[in-house]
Amino acid sequence: MPKIRILQEDLINKIAAGEVVERPASVVKELLDNSYDAGATHISIDIQEGGINKIHIVDNGEGMDKEDAEMAFKRHATSKIQQIEDLLNLKNYGFRGEALATISAVSKVTLKTRKKDQNLGTEIKIEGGQITLTTETGAPQGTSILIEDLFYNVPARKEFLKATSTEYKEILDIVDSYAIANPGTGISLVHNDKTIYNLPSDDKLEDRIRSILGSDTFEKLIPLFFEHPHLEIYGYVSKPELASERKKRQYIFVNKRPINNRSIAFNVKDAYGSLIPRNSYPVFLVFLDLPTNVVDVNVHPRKEEVKFSNDQFINTSVRSCVKSALNRTDLTPGAQDKGVPRSPFASPFVKNPFSPPTTPQTTKTSKPFSDPFWNAPYADPFGGMDDTLTPGSGMNSNFLQIHNLYIVAETETGLLIYDQHAVHERIIYEQLISKHQKKNQTGQTQGLLTPIVLNLSAQESTILAEHLETLKEAGFEIEEFGGNSYKITQVPAILSQFDIKGIIHEILDDLEEHQETKKVDSQSNKILTYLACRSAYKAGDLLHQEEIAAMIEKLKLADIEYTCPHGRPVKIELTWKELSRMFKRT
Ligand code: ADP
Ligand code: MG
């Protein structure tokens, strides 16, 4: 008996699905490929539960007749290429003829489609790769494809799916990138019956990017230009101030195809040189238009990567194009950002580390002591202090900031060294958590004379919406303000002097990176920890002496004064004994 056999068609398709259909977002990607390839001028996407229950995509493209509609679900069935040379002149996203075959092998599919010149359309139902219904139907021109119960017949695959919110964000990433690549096609996205966006079919690239990234981000982008007979580069890179530790919002499009490419990403980042820290990454949208015959699109099962015939030329061009964009731009942070420094003392009054710090008096932002928290300890920073928990009471009233990072204080038993970020972080965290836990506590919030408006991306807005309750309980008053905008009218008093807009953007960044916690408790703790961390003074912030005194005083009232919310030490002590030993005095 021979032991080698050809596998059954539906098993082949299930195996192929393993490569092509990794998760709901890959289904969305393949279906979008098809709708754009069909010349649609409008595409609507409706998903339920992160696409696991339902993905419904409707386009007004060319549609299919009955024969093609049945054929489309066969493996290696495509209208896009006929011979290998066609790959060198490919104008479509698709070419493998695999997507519909593999998707229908692992889900329940309902297709309705009608070609322009036909009166009746076709409806086809397929379950697990088997056609269960083919019938004529009335249908608008174009194609509607409904995918239900993804992986219902491949339980092992279903196990690998993440939380629906994570799957949803993966889909949003895909839809965002296709929407940016095709500004001239209208696109709407609905998740769990909520419209996430609905964009017109005559957007310019600029409008589209603004809608997708949110105008807060768009306003910090710099346009790119580069022209060569065989290569055009355009798009945007961010001002250095938008760089973050996360590689987010980094889009590369090759002939409008969204791709990943590490060397292009590296060259964009490298062009910033010392404008951004080494472990920081800019936001960018780099479009490369070049002749199709110098790009190999057939190098990745999900078509996420391409290969260039001349990598080096592409990389050097990207790099010099980004460099010249940065060089010709005034990179000073925008006026609204300049006005509200993170530390109230990081102001022009104390910018020069060699001049003695002066307490700023005039402007609102430079008057940190108007807030009740900062006011209290000033008259006598150490009066009535309970020292019992601190080793060595009776501190010397002279506080010293060193390295713009540590605070050194003399006590009876030795030297206390504080980490200014950790101290401040602990204090802010405790204020926020106490407000959050005792929900009705009053007196620790501050109304804003001018509300702060956040113009977010759909991605950021989803994350903010998930944490809105926690933020409200911690003292924020935030309302939805149409689309993906929010209005902040009240903030926790302890944060009232800081750049709230910047801080919120930073915590959204943090939260986007760490999506996995599902428990509500740890979710609120997480956002309060991030909030404290992002608001606290950083290493390098020059602090005023009274500010240091108030901070140390406040730390003593904290429930836990030894570690920051992440568990790092807030202070360490070097005793006189230890010092004597080190200097061999004993
Ligand atoms: P590919 O896109 O690689 O050709 P698919 O399996 O995705 O393979 O689709 C098979 C064929 O079905 C396509 O080549 C196209 O002719 C047709 N098709 C799929 N989706 C659509 C659509 N939305 N509108 C019109 N035709 C479609
Ligand atoms: Mg396709």
Ligand 1 atom with minimal separation from the 92 CA: 2
Ligand 1 atom with minimal separation from the 100 CA: 6
Which residues on neighbouring strands pair with residue 59, listed in sequence order? 43, 143
d(CA 48, CA 283): 29
23 CA from centroid of ligand 1 (Å) = 19
76 CA from centroid of ligand 2 (Å) = 10
Residue to mutate (ligand 1; options 59, 78, 146, 300; most atoms within 8 A of CB): 78
* Residue minimizing CA distance to atom 19 of ligand 1: 34
Residue to mutate (ligand 1; options 20, 29, 34, 302; most atoms within 8 A of CB): 34
Phi/psi-derived region of residue 183, left when phi > 0, alpha when psi is between -120 and 50, beta in every other case: alpha
Give the N- to C-terminal CA distance of the chain in Å, as an integer: 90
Token pair of 58 as six digits: 């409707």
* Residue minimizing CA distance to atom 8 of ligand 1: 97
Residue to mutate (ligand 1; options 81, 100, 147; most atoms within 8 A of CB): 100
Torsion over CA: 75, 79, 85, 90 (sign)? negative
Q: Where are the alpha helices (DSSP H) in 354-418?
A: 372-375
411, 390 contact by CB (below 8 A): yes
Extract long-range pairs of 491-494: CB within 8 Å, 24+ residues apart: 491/445, 491/446, 491/448, 492/431, 492/432, 492/435, 492/444, 492/445, 492/446, 493/371, 493/372, 493/373, 493/443, 493/444, 493/445, 493/446, 494/371, 494/373, 494/427, 494/428, 494/431, 494/432, 494/444, 494/535
Ligand 1 atom with minimal separation from the 35 CA: 23
pLDDT per residue rounded down to tens, the chain (586 residues): 789 999 988 888 888 888 889 999 999 999 999 999 999 999 999 999 999 999 999 999 999 999 999 999 999 999 999 999 999 999 999 999 999 999 999 999 999 999 999 999 999 999 999 999 999 999 999 999 999 999 999 999 999 999 999 999 999 999 999 999 999 999 999 999 999 999 999 999 999 999 999 999 999 999 999 999 999 999 999 999 999 988 889 999 999 999 999 999 999 999 999 999 999 999 999 999 999 999 999 999 889 999 999 999 999 999 999 999 999 998 877 533 433 334 433 332 222 222 223 333 322 232 232 233 223 222 222 222 232 223 333 344 458 899 999 999 998 999 999 999 999 999 999 888 888 887 656 558 899 999 999 999 999 999 999 889 989 988 899 999 998 999 999 999 889 888 999 999 989 988 887 655 444 457 788 888 989 999 999 889 999 888 899 999 999 888 888 999 888 899 999 999 999 999 999 7
198 CA from centroid of ligand 1 (Å) = 24
Ligand (nearest to CA of 103): 1
Token pair of 521 as six digits: 């408790």
Among 218, 174, 172, 216, residue whose Cα is nearest residue 197: 172
Q: Which stretch of DSSP H or E encloses residue 54?
A: strand 54-59
Query: Can you point out the beta strands (E) in 477-538?
Result: 477-480, 485-492
Ligand (nearest to CA of 145): 1
Report in angstroms the alpha-carbon separations of 488 from 325, 341, 437, 450: 34, 18, 21, 9
Q: Give per-residue pLDDT as tens, 187-233.
A: 999 999 999 999 999 999 999 999 999 999 999 999 999 999 999 99
Q: Give per-residue pLDDT as tens, 144-189.
A: 999 999 999 999 999 999 999 999 999 999 999 999 999 999 999 9
d(CA 349, CA 335): 18
Ligand 1 atom with minimal separation from the 93 CA: 2
The identity of residue 361, as a single letter, is Q
- B/e letters for 478-495, b = 16+ CB within 10 Å, e = fewer, are beeeebbbbebebbbbbb
Ligand (nearest to CA of 98): 1
Ligand 1 atom with minimal separation from the 99 CA: 6
d(CA 508, CA 489): 19
Pocket of ligand 1 (CB under 6 A): 30, 33-35, 38, 59, 61-64, 72, 77-80, 94-101, 143
